[in-house]
Amino acid sequence: MASHKYKVGQSVRFRPTHMSALVGAQDCEIIRQLPVQDGAYLYRIKCRLENVERVASEGELALRSSSGAGS
């Protein structure tokens, strides 16, 4: 049985598919796993540069690279 790919507290990269003109890729944290809707695994995420939480599908998320800090 398939399950959510990401866990609560995990750092991910949010790459929106349908609002890309308004919001670019951002580093975010998984706040909560949401129920599957229409076959898509959903998450509540909080992006570091925003004061709001949003809902994202698993296809809009990727593991955040641990490198890149301090370059």
Measured distance CA(35)–CA(26) in Å, rounded: 23
pLDDT for 16-65, tens place per residue?
Answer: 876 554 667 789 999 999 999 999 999 999 999 889 899 999 999 999 77
Q: How many Å is the maximal CA-CA distance in the chain? A: 41
Nearest to 56 by CA among 43, 41, 39, 70: 43
Q: Domain boundaries in the chain?
A: 1-48
Statement: residue 70 has pLDDT above 70: no
* Angle CA 59–66–69, to nearest 5: 125
Statement: residue 69 has pLDDT above 50: no
